[in-house]
Amino acid sequence: MAPYVTSSIQTCLVKAVTLVVVLSFGHSETVSLGKRHAYISSIPFRNMKLAAPVVTSLPNASLRFCGVECLHNPQCQSFNYRSASRSCDLLGTYLCSGTKDLVYAYGIKYYDVEKNADVENLTTARADVKCRTDAVCSPKCTCTVVAFSSFIGDYLTPDDAVLAGVPESTTRDKCMELCATKPLPECRGINVNSDGSQCQHLDFLPSERPGNRYTSISGWDYHLRRCM
C-alpha cells in the first residue's frame, strides 16, 4: 500500500531559471527546470502527441518557456511540443494509460511535467520497461508516496465519474487511504463529507473536463491526489 500524507498547499508558483539535461534514454530526455524536484521529460517516441483537452496554446515558445509556463499553471500537467514552429499545447492531464492515448502527429513530442519529483524515482521510472515500450515514463503513475492537496469547502461536480465500490460511510482519512491504494488513473481525487457520511472517488482532474466545476457546498471538501 502506498503511504500518503495530507497537505493544504494548493498551488506552487515556480521561478525557473536554467535548463540542464540530466538524463537521456535513447530518444527520451529529462530536463531540470532550475528548481529542486521540477523536471520535464519526453517519452521515447517521436511524432506522437497525447490526445487530451488543451489548457493553453503557446505560439513562438521555446521548450524552456513551455516548461516554465506549465509549472506556473496549476491546471497544467504535461504538454505537446512542436519544435519546427516552436509552439506547445499545455495539457490538463498526463499519460499513464500507455500508447493507446497517443496519436500520430509529425514533428510533435510529448513531455511529462514533474512538479515535485525525486530524481531517483524519476530515473527509476524512466529506465523501466514500461517507459520504453508503452510510454509510461512518469513516476506519478507508480508513485510510492501519495499526498492530497485540500480544497476546503469545495465540491468537484462529478457527473458520471464517481467510482463504484466506495463505502457509503467512512472517515476522511479512510477515504484517502482507499484512494491512495488504487492505480492513479482510477482515483485522482476525492470528495468527502466532513462527518464521514459520504466518500466519492473521482477518476479525473478538474482541468480535464470543462463541464465539471467546483461548487461550494457546506460540509464537503475536495482533495486532489498528488505524488511526492
pLDDT tens track for 157-173: 766 556 555 666 678 88
Lowest mean pLDDT among 3-7, 99-103, 122-126: 3-7
Q: State which residues form the domain around 187.
A: 146-227
Whether residue 18 is contained in a domain is answered as yes
Whether residue 136 is contained in a domain is answered as yes
Widest CA span in the chain: 54
Under 8 Å between Cβ of 228 and 5 = yes
Above 50 in pLDDT, residue 13?
Answer: no
Strand partners, 87: 82
Query: Domain check: are 202 and 105 in the same one?
Result: no
Letter for the amino acid at 33?
A: L
Q: What is the pLDDT of residue 20?
A: 32
CB < 8 Å & 24+ apart, contacts of 190-196? 190/148, 190/222, 190/223, 190/225, 191/155, 191/156, 191/158, 191/220, 191/221, 191/222, 192/220, 192/221, 192/223, 193/219, 193/220, 194/219, 194/220, 194/221, 195/219, 196/169, 196/170, 196/171, 196/172
Report the predicted TM-score, pTM, of the whole model to 2 decimal places.
0.57
pLDDT bracket for residue 35 (50, 70, 90): low
Q: What is the pLDDT of residue 16?
A: 30
Whether residue 207 is contained in a domain is answered as yes
* More confidently predicted of 209 and 83: 83
CA-based nearest residue to 178, from 157, 194, 161, 192: 192
Element at 134 (helix H, strand E): helix 129-134
Grid cell, residue 10, equals 494548493
State the average pLDDT for the chain: 75
Would you state the torsion angle of the CA atoms of residues 63, 64, 67, 68, taken in this order, to the nearest 10 degrees? -150
Query: Domain check: are 136 and 157 in the same one?
Result: no
Whether residue 56 is contained in a domain is answered as yes
Residue 206, classed as helix, strand or coil, is coil
The CATH number covering residue 204 comes to: 3.50.4.10
Query: Domain check: are 135 and 161 in the same one?
Result: no
Q: How many domains does the chain have?
A: 2
Whether residue 2 is contained in a domain is answered as no
